[in-house]
Amino acid sequence: MPSLFRRKPEEPASVVVSESEPEVGPRGHTPSKRDQGLKTPKRVIAGRRMPEPPAADRKEAAKRLREKQRQERVEAREGMAAGDERFLLARDKGPVRKLVRDIVDSRRTIGTFFFGTTFLVMLVGFNRNLNSSIYYAANALFFVMFLATAVDGFMISRTVKKLVRQRFPDAKDRMGSLYLYAIMRSISFRFIRNPKPQVKIGQAI
């Protein structure tokens, strides 16, 4: 007869297998790419030199750069000689300066012979074996040429003043600087003037 005091056999506890859940960090924590099984791309370290191109490519690039610079210099030189405003120096820019150049280039100037006379007088002065009359004659020629150059510069300045005020009454250029610009150009040989003369001798301005 079964005993009333015998313990009832225990039933085996059911085992529940659950899938592993990811660990949850503290609130506000964002899982990193490593936690998610992703690879973090490598960053470029500041200051690290990039791979240099092959030597042949560097030489070719340097050659093209030198050729480009040479072409730019040639273009600038030709543009300056032709009077192109893009390549002119600051002293030569503007329609007023162009008018002054045309005034000087349209006439024969005594100043172009001044340097030749000065060189001749210097040669005579260095040679003490020459007759004193030749020495005095050379000095007299120098003073005559100096006076003639001064008179010629004065006449050019008068023409510059007249035409500039007539054609550019609102010009901001100072007359003194225009006079000096014209005189310095008038004592230069025609073939070395830069920008090159754009008018012929005797042409009306």
Residue 28 CA to residue 41 CA, distance in Å, equals: 24
Query: What CA–CA distance (Å, rounded) separates 85 from 183?
Result: 22
Residues whose CB falls within 8 Å of the CB of residue 104, separated by 6 or more in sequence, listed in order: 156, 182, 185, 186
- pLDDT given for residue 147 in this prediction: 94
What's the predicted TM-score (pTM) here? 0.64
Low-confidence ranges of the chain (pLDDT < 70): 1-56, 128
Phi, psi (degrees; rounded to nearest 5) at 9 = -60, 135
Q: Which amino acid is at 68?
A: K
State the pLDDT at residue 184.
93
Q: Report pLDDT for 15.
A: 46
